[in-house]
Structure 1
Amino acid sequence: MKKIFTLIALCITVIVSAQNFQGKATYKTFRKVDFKMKVDGENSAMQKQIQEQLKKQFQQTYTLNFNKSESVYTQNKKLSAPQASMGGVQVVIAGNGGGTDVLYKNISDKEYLNKTEISGKRFLIKDKLEDYGWEMTSETKNIGNYTCYKATRSREETRTSMSVTDGKPEEKKEKVTVTTTAWYTPQIPVSNGPGEFWGLPGLILEIQDGKLTIACSEIVMNPSDKVEIKVPKKGKKVNQEEFDEIMDKHSKEMMERFRSKRKSKDGNSFSIEIQG
């Protein structure tokens, strides 16, 4: 009888331990940008300045707090450097919440909520998590102390590039195939990862999604300072398709304002094309 009670107590301990399971992963992002610029009457100094500003905006650090079924992914705040004038050109990444974004994922319910801002207006995007249809492989590599396995997927998407020449905005669209490579570790058995990535039998430690790279730099399992994983609630509720339409309209309005400002200048030809 005593052995039976001991076994029951052990089972209860394991269940409680699983319920309290929590981890914290830090990720760093990098993006290769195809940057093309033509400026009449000005030297290459502006191009170098814009390239440097783009590089800084795409290099960010994020924290993923997760348990067995839920997670919160947030950008780590940092002091922003003053914007350089660069001949009146300011580089702004549309849709960047400026460190205020909160991405909540519920793996059990296969849905996410993303709290984000556009020009001070707050939105709460609620939708289903995408089924990535990962293709599993037996290829492995070590990331830190973890053995990771490779998984891939490919998708077709329409890529849009915007340019302004002589004050006239031009939009170009093309179909491209984007390959995503994920490295996950079964040593941390949660079907989660950075951003909206998920769906593998282990935590994703590295993502290469087209020209975007997300790499895990630190993992702390069951940290002493527990973080409560809260569901974001504030913001105008929309689904992903509705938000994409809002973003598209906002981007076109930004280009129109830029066009109007350039029109009042000296008429020099100015063109920027950013892809990837």
Structure 2
Amino acid sequence: MVNRRDLDPDASPQAAYGARLRRLREERGLSQVELGSQAEYSGTHISQVENARKLPTLRFSKRMDVVLEAGDTFEREWREMTQASLLEGFPEYVEHEGRAAELRLFDIGIVTGLLQTPEYAQAVAYGDVRRGTITRDQADEVVAFLAERQAALMRPRPPTVMVVMDESCIRRQVGGPGIMGTQLDRLLEFAEQPNTVLQIATFDIGERRALYLPVNLLTLPDMTVIAYEESQSRGHLERDSTAVWPLLTAYHQLQTEALSHSASVAMIQEVRKDYP
């Protein structure tokens, strides 16, 4: 019990999670090592989560629910912790994203989240920490949540993913040359997949660029299309077809003006030469 310390469940959602984990573990007479062994984690990992030194992930939470026979308690707590750092409408959007048949994504300035490497995502999140808009813990939650979103798309029958990125996404260096080089490699790997389309909306499109804010469009299994848009401080999930269809039309127009898939790959390869 060297690592044991008292926790105030009211101190933070992470502390409440850790306190519950410790209580249920001890009620079942399990040591941290024993619980870790049953859940396929180390005892040290269990200790760090219990003491609020390490953020739990969705996978970890689901394993705790199974091993400790806690229903969906830890999964719900994880979602509440994570969603506290997200914009309005985004948690609901993510629920649909994980089961969508087709995704159409458009981003400006920053590589779209689902294609970010962990290092790139962390650099973006820690930039927000330096600006004082979120805490370090919240940044870690955002990065962990992004990893869970990415994993949810790795299915036996993956969705079709169409991505249009403004040229600024590949020109703007994030996290230093090494991180940016690896991120560009990730884009090239994505472009090689049979279920993907990647296009660059070049600077010279000018006023012909049909969208001026990031937008995500999802085609659900029942062929319903929903849209998610966000500004700097707000997010909005749109279901009404009268609002969604103009966005879908604008996306199609944007694809027409953007470089082809092969030309986009060639541009990324050219930009990649600037990095070690």
Q: TM range, normalised to the smaller chain?
A: under 0.3
User: Greater relative contact order: 1 or 2 (C-alpha under 8 angstroms, separation 6 or more)?
Assistant: 1
The structure carrying a bigger helix percent of its residues is 2
TM normalised by structure 2 equals 0.25
Higher strand share: 1
TM-score in terms of structure 1 length: 0.25
